[in-house]
Amino acid sequence: MRIELVKRKEHSELMSLMSPLIAVALTAISAGIIFAISGINPLEGLYKFFIDPLTQQWSLEATIDKATPLILIGCGLSVCYLSNNWNIGAEGQFVVGALFGSFLPILFPEFENALTLPLMLIFGVIGGALWGLIPALLKTRFNTNEILTSLMLVYVAGLLLDYLVRGPWRDPDGYNFPESRIFSDAATLPEVFGGFMSMSAVITLVIAIILAVVLAKTVKGFEIRVMGESPRAGSFAGFSSKRLTLFAFAIAGGLAGLAGTMEVSGGLNQLLPSISPGYGFTAIIVAFLGRLNPIGIIVAGFVLALSYIGGEGVQSAMGVSNKIASVIQGLLLFFVLACDTLILYRIRIVTRRSSAATGEASHV
Amino acid sequence: MFEAVLLTVITAATPLLIAAIGELVVERSGVLNLGVEGMMIMGAVIGFAVANQTGSGTIGVVAAIVAGMAMSALFGFLVLVLVANQVATGLALTILGLGLSGMIGEAYIGVPGLRIPELYIPYLSEIPFIGPVFFQQDAIVYLGFALVIGVAYTLFRTRAGLILRAVGDNHGSAHALGYSVLKIRFLAVLFGGACAGLAGAYMSLAYTPQWVENMTAGRGWIALALVVFASWLPYRVVVGAYLFGAVSVLNLHAQAIGLGIPSQFLSSLPYLATIAVLVLISANRRLTLVNTPACLGKPFVPDR
């Protein structure tokens, strides 16, 4: 018996919709098995993990807060991945964006007016984009593999943040704790809809919708998809792959940087040695689960955000390690990638008997 | 002083060397496995846990190798059988490995570890200076060198190595000649997983005999860069690994001397050095094109 792939004549539309759902279902089954191994009733565990966070207002708000950066970063990454640029350094672009976004309230705390917040957000975008452009420039100029360089810069960004909050940017009145001063009200993103949603969530939603339109309806969106699928065809159409690489990294970095600034300004309200529970990496899963489509990414962002909140939930209620969240995230990406095979191929299980019977048919 | 520095360089270089030589074989077969970090961290945690449970470092090391292979088998199934995207699957392997190791390792945080013993090579270890540095190491250090020699010999002096390289350079032709491309690639992927697991075991059973979450700290990724640095030639991996080993212990020794440089800057040196080296190597088109396996990262679906 062996597994054989039979190429479909064209992409299966049904499977493009179904594959993320199948992947989520398979992940839930695997999670149930992990719960069972940990000595917990799998159904109770799954309920606590995936459903319970949606039933209470506070946890629903927390889920939205977690989904926001994931969606924003995931949207940027989708531009990279669609155009075949492997940016895996969004975590670093998030951090550097946060640094650029917070130098104003940290170094110039007396600069408090209506311009403070918009300037912070713009600086955040610039910071993330600049950090993202480093691997892009190295790729276009020296042909250097962007996967490794973008990842290496994650570590560098983390150390830079660590240096700043322990050194020059440490709060002078903070009893030597490694943290920056707390942002003033003028530098804090407000909440909207009676505190139910943050401003970040609204901005993210708007950006995701704009990106969806750009990708689906504009020449730029067409260029991104063509260059990803067939760079040769794209170059005949006059598209420059180098310029697109720079564009994709700048967008991805800029959005990650914006997410970083909004996380610091809207949530943490200060810089700490660590400002992200791995959003930049989880957003990679979000991008793939959302099938590199901004609307899909919004849904996927919520699924992955649930895993953070659900992880905390099962830890406090059932004593399972909250590390189970990252295990489930990893499994989910595996299943998404495995299920994507179904879009391009039909899977046939060949036993000795059936291979003799269908042997001739497959040559037709 | 110099002897002590050299000793730390060797211990820092060994995990890089072993993980990189494994990945070199994988890439020579035409597969890009970006999950080295994930396989390595699983090796580290399983090695530590099993050594802790059984009281035997050797059993721990073997378990780590098996763990690395199990992870790589998962990767192999996805990219070879299901033709999943290699870059994304490698990333998934790393994300899964980091999560799973964190969950398994939670019970072992702060638990005193077990160091695998040094093996003193008779007579040679008594030579002044050279003896203590090169011949009073643990078995994994020696194994690392043996792996390099073995891989170099197999790749370029044996029929099996020729077939492996043929699969990596032109899978269509290799398939037409009757070689099972997928089977050969799967074996190469397993070898890479075993090496990464071993490198992980070295981290948690020799380098720093304890379990700390995320303790590989990007070494799997640096190992990947080393393969590019070495332009897919085994002996150059040794040079690269020792160079990076030296850069990564700089921090330790600079602090001991008391230089006024913030530690974070020194800690970032290995990562910055990796970028610098990658740029230097890749800017040289001729060098990279000669040795890069032509089918690296390209999927192969046999038409039956």
Distance of CA A204 to CAs A71, A99, B52, Å? 7, 19, 47
Chain A residues with CB under 8 Å of B95 CB are 281, 284-285, 326, 329-330, 333
Q: Give the number of other Cβ atoms within 10 Å of residue B152's Cβ.
A: 18
Closest CA to B192 of B281, B51, B80, B49: B80
Taking the C-alpha atoms of residue A135 and residue A126, their distance in angstroms, rounded to an integer, is 15
Estimate the crossing angle of helix A116-142 against helix B269-283, to 10 degrees: 40
Q: What pLDDT, in 10s, does the model give residues B12-50?
A: 999 999 999 999 999 999 999 999 999 999 999 999 999
Q: Give the number of other Cβ atoms within 10 Å of residue A58's Cβ.
A: 9
Residue written as token pair 């924003």: A72
∠B79-B83-B84 over CA atoms, to 5°? 65
Show the tokens assigned to A341.
Answer: 């095979």
Query: Is B264 within 8 Å of chain A by CB?
Result: yes
Amino acid sitting at position B303: D
**Residue A155 and residue B218: Cβ atoms within 8 Å?**
yes
Query: Is B182 within 8 Å of chain A by CB?
Result: no
Interface of B with A in 68-107 (CB under 8 A): 74, 78, 81-85, 87-89, 91-93, 95-100, 102-103, 106
Task: Print burial letters for B103-117: b (CB count within 10 Å at least 16), e (below 16).
Answer: bbbeebeeeebbebe
- Taken as a whole, chain A contains a residue count of 364
Does residue A238 come out as left (phi exceeding 0), alpha (psi in the -120 to 50 range) or beta?
left
Chain B residues with CB under 8 Å of A152 CB are 218, 221, 225, 271-272, 274-275
Taking the C-alpha atoms of residue B240 and residue B228, their distance in angstroms, rounded to an integer, is 10
Give the residues of chain B that fall short of pLDDT 70. 1, 255-256, 258-259, 304
Chain A residues with CB under 8 Å of B226 CB are none
pLDDT of residue B168: 93
Query: Is B301 within 8 Å of chain A by CB?
Result: yes
Compute φ and ψ for A277, nearest 5 degrees: -80, 50
**Residue A334 and residue B78: Cβ atoms within 8 Å?**
yes
Element (H, E) at A198: strand A197-198
Mutation target vs A (from B78, B216, B275, B296; most A CBs, 10 A cutoff): B275
Q: Give the number of other Cβ atoms within 10 Å of residue B276's Cβ.
A: 13
pLDDT of residue A320: 79
What is the DSSP pairing of strand A197-198 with strand A345-350? unpaired
Interface of B with A in 13-72 (CB under 8 A): 34
**Residue A156 and residue B271: Cβ atoms within 8 Å?**
yes
Task: Print burial letters for A270-309: b (CB count within 10 Å at least 16), e (below 16).
Answer: bbbeebbebbbbbbbbbbbbbbbbbebbbbbbbbbbbbbb
Show the tokens assigned to A94.
Answer: 């998030």
Nearest CB among B84, B92, B275 relative to A330 is that of B92
Query: Is A322 within 8 Å of chain B by CB?
Result: no
Query: Is A323 within 8 Å of chain B by CB?
Result: yes
Show the tokens assigned to B245.
Answer: 């080993």
Show the tokens assigned to B205.
Answer: 């059973």
Show the tokens assigned to A274.
Answer: 């660590």
Distance of CA A163 to CAs A99, A128, A199, A271, B148, Å? 11, 18, 30, 11, 38
Q: Concatenated DSSP letters for chain B?
A: -HHHHHHHHHHHHHHHHHHHHHHHHHHHTT---TTHHHHHHHHHHHHHHHHHHHS-HHHHHHHHHHHHHHHHHHHHIIIIIS---HHHHHHHHHHHHHHHHHHHHGGGBT----PPPB-PPTTGGGSTTHHHHHSSSBHHHHHHHHHHHHHHHHHHHSHHHHHHHHHHH-HHHHHHTT--HHHHHHHHHHHHHHHHHHHHHHIIIIIS-SB-TTTTTTHHHHHHHHHHHTTT-HHHHHHHHHHHHHHHHHHHHHHHHT--S-HHHHHTHHHHHHHHHHHHHHH-HHHHHHHS-TTTT-------
Chain B residues with CB under 8 Å of A7 CB are 301
pLDDT of residue A1: 67
Compute φ and ψ for A197, nearest 5 degrees: -130, 150
Kindly report the pTM of this predicted structure.
0.89
Give me the tens of pLDDT residue by residue for chain A, a chain 364 residues long: 677 778 787 777 787 788 889 999 999 999 999 888 888 888 888 888 888 888 888 888 889 999 999 999 999 999 999 999 999 999 999 999 999 999 999 888 888 888 889 999 999 999 999 999 999 999 999 989 899 999 999 999 999 999 999 988 888 887 888 888 888 888 888 877 766 678 899 999 999 999 999 999 999 988 988 888 888 888 888 888 899 999 999 999 999 999 999 999 988 888 998 899 889 999 999 999 998 999 999 999 999 999 889 888 888 888 778 788 889 989 999 999 998 888 888 877 777 665 544 444 444 3
Show the tokens assigned to A101.
Answer: 């976004």
Distance of CA B287 to CAs B2, B148, B222, B233, B236, Å? 34, 21, 20, 11, 13
Taking the C-alpha atoms of residue A313 and residue A320, their distance in angstroms, rounded to an integer, is 9
* 3-class SS of residue A7: strand
**Closest-CA residue of chain A to B107:** A321
Taking the C-alpha atoms of residue B196 and residue B65, their distance in angstroms, rounded to an integer, is 8
Query: Is B286 within 8 Å of chain A by CB?
Result: no
Burial tier of B139 (Cβ tally within 10 Å: 0-12, 13-18, 19+):
middle
**Residue B92 and residue A327: Cβ atoms within 8 Å?**
no
Chain B residues with CB under 8 Å of A49 CB are none
Query: Is A159 within 8 Å of chain B by CB?
Result: yes
- Is residue B219 a contact partner of residue B203, using CB atoms and an 8 Å limit? yes
Amino acid sitting at position B47: G
Q: What pLDDT, in 10s, does the model give residues B143-160?
A: 999 999 999 999 999 999
Q: What is the ipTM of this complex?
A: 0.87
Nearest CB among A321, A330, A338 relative to B95 is that of A330
Residue written as token pair 């640094």: A99
Query: Is A325 within 8 Å of chain B by CB?
Result: yes
Distance of CA B56 to CAs A236, B47, B194, Å? 63, 10, 19
pLDDT of residue B170: 92
pLDDT of residue A54: 86
**Closest-CA residue of chain A to B278:** A144
Residue written as token pair 């962007």: A146
pLDDT of residue A227: 87
pLDDT of residue A348: 79
pLDDT of residue A361: 43
CA atoms within 13 A on the CB side of B215: 31
pLDDT of residue A360: 42
Q: Concatenated DSSP letters for A155-183?
A: HHHHHHHHHHHHTTTS-TTSTT-S--PPP
Amino acid sitting at position B276: A
Chain A residues with CB under 8 Å of B225 CB are 148, 152
**Residue B102 and residue A326: Cβ atoms within 8 Å?**
yes
pLDDT of residue A353: 62
Please count the residue pairs, one from chain A and one from chain B, whose beta carbons lie less than 8 angstroms apart: 135
Chain B residues with CB under 8 Å of A326 CB are 95, 98-99, 102-103
The whole-angstrom distance between residue A184's C-alpha and the CA centroid of its chain comes to 29
**Residue A334 and residue B83: Cβ atoms within 8 Å?**
no
